[in-house]
């Protein structure tokens, strides 16, 4: 079978056009700092569907100008390891182009099961099979952190994605000890929690557990400072 030169040329141009369109996919850059409310149980993380940018935080790169978006809840566990939640977070308000984050991995916590029975300052607990790290920061304050990994993109994932890491953090004063937090989770869950999170696009490496914990503590500190400024204290 012989192909006409014009047909071969046309097919070649179409192929080049498709390759060019893929190459033109804009990579996601920078960081987004968000805040919202969540209810946590042993089997679910129920986020309020909407979030806003963290007061006083600076969004950069593709997230510049961000004022809000939406986020999905995690149910049926959540268990650590590979997962598939397309459109888990959508950065839609204030940005030049909406950014989509597809969740692909829930990282394991960095604490130990043995520490879950302790309220000593510095204790680092991760319940069996849980993705959470609970740090007894002070005698009456627990910091909980959660790391999610995935890919961010604009438009369609078919045109190219950027590896992105999200670290969520919250401060629990009531109840204020690790055993008390776990008891409340077992009794039905902890509600009325305010969280902070940073989505970092195109990271050079996935944060180690210790780095994740430090970032989580930093998020809590930034949230407290911002809250004092808002309240005029």
Give the model confidence (pLDDT) of 104-146 as tens digits.
999 999 999 999 999 999 999 999 888 999 999 999 999 999 9
Could you say which residues of the chain have pLDDT below 70?
A: 1-25, 203-233
Distance, CA of 131 to CA of 145 (rounded, Å)? 9
Indicate the pTM of the whole model. 0.79
Q: Which residues is 143 bridged to in the sheet? A: 135, 171
The confidence score (pLDDT) of residue 218 equals 55
Distance CA 12, CA 134 (A): 57
Residue 43's pLDDT is: 84
Beta-carbon neighbour count of residue 72 at 10 Å? 16
CB atoms within 10 A of CB 50: 15
CA 175 to chain centre: 24
**pLDDT tens-digit readout, 2-16:** 434 333 223 233 333
Sketch the domain layout of the chain as residue ranges: 27-231
State the Cα–Cα distance between residues 131 and 78, nearest whole angstrom. 7
d(CA 154, CA 159): 9
Among candidate residues 155, 177, 152, the one with its CA nearest the CA of residue 166: 152
């Amino acid at each position: 079978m012989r192909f006409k030169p014009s047909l071969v040329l046309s097919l070649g141009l179409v192929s080049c056009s498709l390759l060019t369109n893929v190459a033109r996919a804009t990579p996601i850059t920078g960081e987004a700092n968000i805040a919202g409310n969540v209810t946590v149980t042993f089997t679910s993380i129920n986020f309020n569907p909407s979030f806003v940018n963290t007061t006083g935080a600076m969004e950069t790169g593709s997230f510049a100008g961000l004022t809000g978006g939406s986020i999905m809840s995690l149910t049926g566990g959540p268990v650590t390891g590979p997962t598939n939640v397309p459109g888990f977070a959508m950065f839609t308000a204030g940005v030049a182009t909406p950014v989509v984050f597809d969740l692909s991995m829930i990282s394991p916590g960095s604490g130990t099961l043995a520490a879950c029975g302790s309220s000593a300052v510095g204790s680092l607990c991760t319940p069996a099979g849980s993705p959470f790290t609970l740090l007894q920061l002070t005698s009456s304050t627990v910091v909980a952190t959660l790391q999610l990994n995935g890919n961010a993109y604009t438009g369609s994932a078919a045109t190219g994605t950027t590896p992105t890491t999200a670290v969520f953090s919250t401060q629990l004063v009531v109840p204020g000890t690790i055993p008390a937090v776990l008891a409340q989770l077992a009794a039905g869950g902890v509600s009325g929690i305010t969280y902070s999170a940073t989505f970092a696009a195109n990271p050079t490496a996935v944060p180690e557990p210790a780095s994740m914990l430090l970032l989580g503590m930093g998020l809590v500190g930034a949230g407290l400072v911002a809250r004092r400024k808002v309240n005029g204290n």
